[in-house]
Structure 1
Amino acid sequence: MTQFTPTLQPLHQSSDNNNILVPRITNSWPKFQQSKALGTLGDGNCMEQLLIHCADAIEANDVTLAQQILWVLNNIAPPEGDSNQRLVATFLRALIARATKSGSSKLLAAVAASSHNNTTIATSLAVQTHRFSVMELADFVDVTPWHRFGFTAANSAILEATEGFPTIHIVDLSSTHCMQIPTLIDAIASRHDVPPLIKLTITEASRNIPPILNLSYDELGSKLVNFAKSKNITMDFRVIPSTHEDGFAALIQYLGLHRHRVVTSEALVINCHMMLHCIPDETLSSAISRSSLRSLFLKALRRLNPTLVVLVEEDADLTWSDLVSRLRAAFNFMWIPYDTVETLLQRGSKQRQWYEADICWKIENVIAQEGIERVERLEGKIKWEQRMRNAEFQGISFSHDAVSEVKAMLDEHAAAWGFKKQDQHLLLTWKGHNVVFASAWFPA
């Protein structure tokens, strides 16, 4: 991407539209005509550059420049615009949230002053981001394969790895609160003449990370146990009070004690669906240890000698410590969910509002938060492969049947969705861009 360095001068009234404020643009913008400034600034690359300069200004506490760029971005990226404009409006909101956390009285005053005549800024300051719930996610899952891709690939791998075991212990570390499990139960029931006993272990969800579980664990367990019973499967359901913040230490301890007591006839499956990226990475590691909690968690899993580990994550790297690099990486990935929504969901629909609120939360977390509060620390497929191999896991190729299942599932969705097999793993794509990867591992 070509890098531009715009020079923003004090704002003035545009001769094309007296109600729109645009910056005076110097020759630093190559081949830009001032009379076409607004349209040119609406280009995605230029909006990205403006966001980067706004981030730099906020980090440098440059009140004047930050306020100027906030005004420009507001005028070229209305929150009700097209997918690119809504994406930029969300990043603008995230930058404002970061500015309000900076503690600078001058910058806070400037933003507050701007908010009186600036719809996006006023909305950003006044409205708390909607917390996407698991019930809302349930309404969305069938619309796109964003989650279904991982569900389908993982279920196929689990079925094959657990063939012949009378007991299957599934540890479900999932951001979707067991939404995958009913389809897995159904597949297990149809595959076995004598259904195995299923033990399902989950961890307590963080109350701060959407989608929010808006029912009790007793209710969730009861629903799953009753569904399994309807398929003639006996299920044991257990919740372990353990979270991502310490690398699921209590879960590892429980599994270690439990593993020593069981016979080899029990298959242990660790199903990780878009959850492990919440475990702190190297930037939050203790000074005593050079390893991140992620690596320590994977090595602890290896000592349990599981039958299978399934890892499904979004294929992006948002672990950069500096804000500008993180903003670039997030901008060049987060356009995808906005683009899919633009294609698939009607403007103004509740379903679209819910889903975009979830995207907004993620972007705000990536941009506005630091330290332990920043949980959206995605890593790409290559980095996760390295971590798994370092923990002495070996990748398993997905079978022909698994690939066929994924293909059949994608046939139900828009043609812009696709998938490819890369090395041993599967990748979901949108218009050719990597979105989610699915991988399966066993102890080396």
Structure 2
Amino acid sequence: MASHKRAPSYSPLISNRTSAADILKAYGVYVLACPFKKMRLSARAGGPPKLRITGIEFPQPGFRPDERVEETGRRLKRYCERFNVPFEYNVIAKKWETIQLEELKINKDEVVVVNCLYRLKNLPDDTLSSSSARDTVLKLIRSINPEFKEALFHFSAQFDIFEANVSREDPQRMMFGREILGRDIMNVVACEGIERVERPKTYKQWQARTLRAGFKPIPLDEVLVKKVKNLVQSNYNRDFILDVDGRWMLQGWKGRALIALSCWKPARN
């Protein structure tokens, strides 16, 4: 008799003892970059403009599928109140490829920026379905007509970065390694089919797909890139790297690119 084993499920890999707030503190993606933006907005001549953010996250299992993204909104609201920046937050907790344009609640006179950092790689690719979720999401972004920034990374050097720069006893390091990196690695290694949600691609592959979706890359600001390079060289571990490949800015560790950043805008028809 044949024995059939079910591939390990992705969602239960998160410890039940770990709260959404703790994961957010460890991840940092949601909250660490935002205070600096709020401070700049609050200092603008004529007063700060209204900042409206739509927080999108995959639904979590259980009775509160939007718990994690709502916690993000509460943190952002506190930052905005601190710097007197008018703030509005819109929550969407569903699969990205099922989101409709009207759910984003975009006003015609708004400046819109789409940030897909670390998230496009989680969408199912063409190997799972004849209809591509990645193409569907890119077409949605194209219909928004935004300035588009996306980044991809692979995490093979993350533990080495921690080892060289953060104490092993640091609670945030342990949290990130267990709940983020450990979960992602387990999914890539042990899960198959629809239960595998970590499907990273190289930035060259994303470039080809994004071009097909109707976008064109925006040239990098050479002055800004030079400033960032000088900042990295003068303030960070010498093994951190920052390089440029065409219209991509690459960040990495010991010669291995971990993050590729680029800016895109809709191409004219």
Query: Which TM-score band (shorter chain)?
Result: 0.7 to 0.9
1:386 alignment partner, one of 195, 201, 208: 208
**Secondary structure, aligned partner of 1:195:** coil
Which stretch shifts more, 219-228 or 381-390?
A: 219-228
2:148 alignment partner, one of 304, 309, 312: 309
The 2-side partners of 1:408 and 1:139 are apart by 27
Amino acid aligned to 1:341: F
**Secondary structure, aligned partner of 2:235:** coil
The 2-side partners of 1:372 and 1:192 are apart by 50
The 1-side partners of 2:170 and 2:86 are apart by 40
Does residue 37 of structure 2 align to residue 184 of structure 1?
Answer: yes
In structure 2, the partner of 1:228 is 80
**Larger RCO (CA within 8 A; separation ≥ 6):** 2
> Superposed, which structure 2 residues align to 1:94-173 within 5 Å?
101=6, 130=15, 135=22, 138=25
8 A Cα contact 1:345 1:351, kept in partner? no
In structure 1, the partner of 2:259 is 436
Percent of aligned positions that are identical: 26
Amino acid aligned to 1:281: D
Could you list the per-position Cα deviations for residues 165-190 of structure 1 after superposition, in whole angstroms to 9, with x for gaps in the alignment? Answer: xxxxxxxxxxx345432222223333
**Secondary structure, aligned partner of 1:201:** strand
Change (3 A) 1:400 1:229: farther
8 A Cα contact 2:59 2:94, kept in partner? no
Compute the TM-score of the two structures, normalised by the length of structure 1: 0.51
**Secondary structure, aligned partner of 2:197:** coil
In structure 1, the partner of 2:125 is 281
The 2-side partners of 1:216 and 1:382 are apart by 30
Alpha-carbon offset, residue 347 of structure 1 = 3.4
Change (3 A) 1:382 1:229: same
| Bigger Rg, which one | 1
In structure 2, the partner of 1:293 is 133
The 1-side partners of 2:66 and 2:124 are apart by 22
8 A Cα contact 1:396 1:440, kept in partner? yes
**Secondary structure, aligned partner of 2:111:** strand
In structure 1, the partner of 2:110 is 266
Could you list the per-position Cα deviations for residues 256-301 of structure 1 after superposition, in whole angstroms to 9, with x for gaps in the alignment? Answer: xx44xx33x3111111111111111101224xx4xx1101211222
Alpha-carbon offset, residue 378 of structure 1 = 0.5
Which stretch shifts more, 406-415 or 235-244?
A: 406-415
Q: State the superposition RMSD in angstroms.
A: 3.1
Does residue 213 of structure 2 align to residue 373 of structure 1?
Answer: no
Query: Tell me, which stretches of 5 or more residues in structure 2 are unaligned?
Result: none
The 2-side partners of 1:362 and 1:132 are apart by 18
Alpha-carbon offset, residue 404 of structure 1 = 4.7
In structure 2, the partner of 1:354 is 175
8 A Cα contact 2:240 2:251, kept in partner? yes
The 2-side partners of 1:202 and 1:309 are apart by 16
**Secondary structure, aligned partner of 1:385:** helix
8 A Cα contact 1:199 1:237, kept in partner? yes
Higher helix share: 1
**Secondary structure, aligned partner of 1:273:** coil
Query: Tell me, which stretches of 5 or more residues in structure 1 are unaligned?
Result: 1-60, 62-98, 104-127, 142-175, 317-332
The 2-side partners of 1:216 and 1:305 are apart by 24
The 2-side partners of 1:100 and 1:339 are apart by 33
The 2-side partners of 1:401 and 1:194 are apart by 28
8 A Cα contact 1:242 1:251, kept in partner? no
The 2-side partners of 1:226 and 1:350 are apart by 24
2:94 alignment partner, one of 223, 229, 242: 242
Change (3 A) 1:394 1:371: same
Could you list the per-position Cα deviations for residues 304-330 of structure 1 after superposition, in whole angstroms to 9, with x for gaps in the alignment? Answer: 222x0110120x5xxxxxxxxxxxxxx
**Secondary structure, aligned partner of 1:346:** coil
**Secondary structure, aligned partner of 1:376:** coil
The 2-side partners of 1:351 and 1:434 are apart by 23
Change (3 A) 1:386 1:375: same
